[in-house]
Structure formats: C-alpha cells, structure tokens
Amino acid sequence: MSAISSREDQGMSAMSAEALRAKTMPPRHRQGIDWFPYVLMAPGLLLVLFVTVYPMVFAIDYSLMRTEVFKQLAFVGLENYQRLLSDPRFLTNLFNSTVFVGGGVALTWTFGLALALFLRRQSWGNAVLKTIILVPWVTNQVVLALMWKWLLGGGASPINYILVTLGFSEFNPLIDTSQALPTLTFINAWRATGFAMLLMLAGLAAIPVEVEEASQIDGASRFKQIWYVIIPLLKPISLVCMVTLTISFFNIIVLPLDLTGGGPLNSTELVSLRLYREGFQYYNIAIASTITAVMVVLDLALAWVYYRLIKSESNYR
C-alpha cells in the first residue's frame, strides 16, 4: 500500500509540475503561433512580392519567347540569351558598365572619405559645406544633366568662354568617344559624393579618439594614420557604401540618358540604358526582358560577393 501511495504521490507531483510549467509558459507556446503580426504585415508583404516577383516572372517568361511588342509569337528557349551574349554591342555595353560602375564607386568612395576627414570636426562652416556637398545627391538627375551639358558643351559654355579668353581652343568631352565615358563616370561620382561622405562621417564618429592619438604618439604620419588605422576601421561601413553605390550605378538610367544619350557611337551606352532603349524606344520586349534577367543575375552576384565580404569581416572582428 505504501508503494502504491508513493507512486500516486509521484504522479500527482508530476501533474502539478506539468500544470505549473503550462502556467509559466509564454502564451505563444500554450496557444500556438500568434498570427496577428503576420496579418498586419501581409498587405505590405504582398505589395513587395507584387512589385518584385511578378516583374521577374514576366521578364523570364518573355525572355524565352519571340515577341511582337507584347504579343508572344513562339517559344524559342535560350535563343534570345544566345543572341544577346553574342552581340558585340551588348559586350560593349557590359564593358561600359564595368568602367562606369568600378571607376565611379572608387572615385565616390575616395572623394567621400577625403571630404569626411576634412569635415569631421563640428563647426558652423562645416555644417554649411556638408549641406552644399549633399545637394547634388538629392537633386533631380535631369537637372544635373542639363547643368553639365551647359557647362561643358556649346558656345554658351562658361568653361569654353574662359578657355577661349585665355587663348585655348574650345572642348566638349561629351562628344568625344575617348572622353565621354570618363566624363560621365566623373560626373556621376561627383553626384554621389555627398552620400558617401555621410556614411564615412558616421564611420569616423565611431572610431575612438584614443586610437588615433596612440598612433600619433607612436610616430605615425598623417598618411600612415589614415592608411593603417582609419581605413581598416572603416572597412565595414565602406563595404556597405560600395554595395549601395554599385547597385545604384549599375541600374542608373536618367543621368546617362539625358547627358550623353549613350553616344557618341554607343561609347557611353550602359547595360541599363540599352535595356531602356530596347523596351521603351524599340519595343523589343523579348530582348528587353532578356537584358532584365541578365541584370538581375549580375545584381544578385554582386550583392552575394559583397555579402560574403561583409560576413567575413564581421566574423574576423
């Protein structure tokens, strides 16, 4: 009897412990998943899916077809991709985009870091300069393109007026096949410098003053402090800056379209500009969809590379 009573007492104790655990357990464990937050997020999630997934499915579908505007005529498989990748003009577009993006990101990051180092100390004058430097980034790209066309081209150009006054000949790099792409790259880097400067200023604010003071006490010159101390500590924020700028520059359309139109002789025609022309000027929807699919793959590849770099940096730290 005592053994039976002992077992009953143990059973009652187990039941009491289970009841106590159920009472102390969070509500979501007792009642299952709380769907209310997901219901609140559903409209926004559906909108994001609609504006991202649907266009991608549309592009892949039309890239596998022969079309007449939006009318699908026949399934051709990968024929459009073969035509595009064997097209010398598209290879030129890829080269132009590589130079434009690579050179633009390098220049923008360099300009942004230099200005951030110069303006990192708080003062009234610095605040005004920061605002002025940021203006091109938030200004409409059409306005910037028209401004630079006026500055660099034509007889009304103030730069050419000064050159002629000083005895030099007029120049217009936007109509020179060897100068148009570097000029476009520089102008775009100038436009985005304010964005890079803000990120670099945020990164510099997180660097302890003691680190720079210690390197200065050790006898490091200003250049060595920047190269061996500041730049390595800014690596995470620099990678974020480069990711954002790379994707932005690779997909840009308005500035090159209004500034050079892809000319002269397609020397500044980027992949994004080629996509715009095929889709909205020539109404070649099949090729435009093929270019879209290629650009998405390249964007994902670039994002993956930068993600791996950022992840490896965080693991190292």
Does residue 123 share a domain with residue 240?
A: yes
Give the number of other CB atoms < 10 A from CB of residue 53: 10
Considering the domain architecture, whether residues 97 and 209 belong to the same structural domain is answered as: yes
Residue 25 lies in a domain: no
Angstrom distance (rounded) from CA 124 to CA 61:
56
Q: Among 102-111, 200-209, 221-230, name the most confident range.
A: 102-111
* Cβ 95 vs Cβ 181: under 8 Å: no
Q: Are residues 253 and 144 in the same domain?
A: yes
Q: Does residue 154 share a domain with residue 100?
A: yes
Q: What is the pLDDT of residue 71?
A: 84
What is the average per-residue pLDDT within 54-79? 86
* Domain co-membership, 50 together with 178: no
119 and 173 part of one domain: yes
Q: Does 23 fall in a domain?
A: no
Domain for residue 288, yes or no?
yes
Mean pLDDT of 200-212: 85
Lowest mean pLDDT among 16-20, 68-72, 221-225: 16-20
Domain check: are 41 and 177 in the same one? no
Query: Any idea what the CATH number is for the domain that residue 282 is in?
Result: 1.10.3720.10
In a domain, residue 136? The reply is yes
Q: Do residues 223 and 185 share a domain?
A: yes
Provide the pLDDT for residue 13: 53
Does residue 101 contact residue 247 with C-beta atoms inside 8 Å? no
Same-domain status, 270 and 154: yes
The residue range of the domain holding 42 is 33-61
In this prediction, residues 7-19 reach a mean pLDDT of: 51
Of the ranges 2-11, 69-78, 167-176, 267-276, which one carries the lowest mean pLDDT score? Answer: 2-11
Q: Does residue 275 fall inside a structural domain? A: yes
What pTM value is reported for the model? 0.80
Residues 144 and 37 in one domain: no
Q: Flag whether 14 is in a domain.
A: no
Alpha helices in the chain (DSSP H): 2-24, 27-31, 36-63, 79-85, 88-119, 124-138, 141-152, 158-165, 180-205, 209-217, 222-225, 231-233, 235-250, 254-259, 271-280, 285-316
Strand partners, 75: 65
What's the token pair of residue 29? Answer: 């464990």
pLDDT beyond 70 at 274: yes
Task: Give tens-digit pLDDT for 88-132.
Answer: 999 999 999 999 999 999 999 999 999 998 888 767 778 888 888
| Residue matched to tokens 């910037």 | 144
> Of 30-34, 166-170, 245-249, 309-313, which has the strongest mean pLDDT?
245-249
Of the chain, the percentage scoring pLDDT greater than 90 comes to: 30
Q: Is the pLDDT of residue 14 over 60?
A: no
Q: How far is it, in rounded angstroms, from Cα 212 to Cα 224?
A: 11
Q: Is 83 helix (H, G, I), strand (E, B) or coil?
A: helix
Whether 38 and 108 map to the same domain: the answer is no
Kindly state whether residue 145 falls inside one of the protein's structural domains.
Answer: yes
How many whole angstroms separate alpha carbon 183 and alpha carbon 100? Answer: 10
Residues 224, 110 share a domain: yes
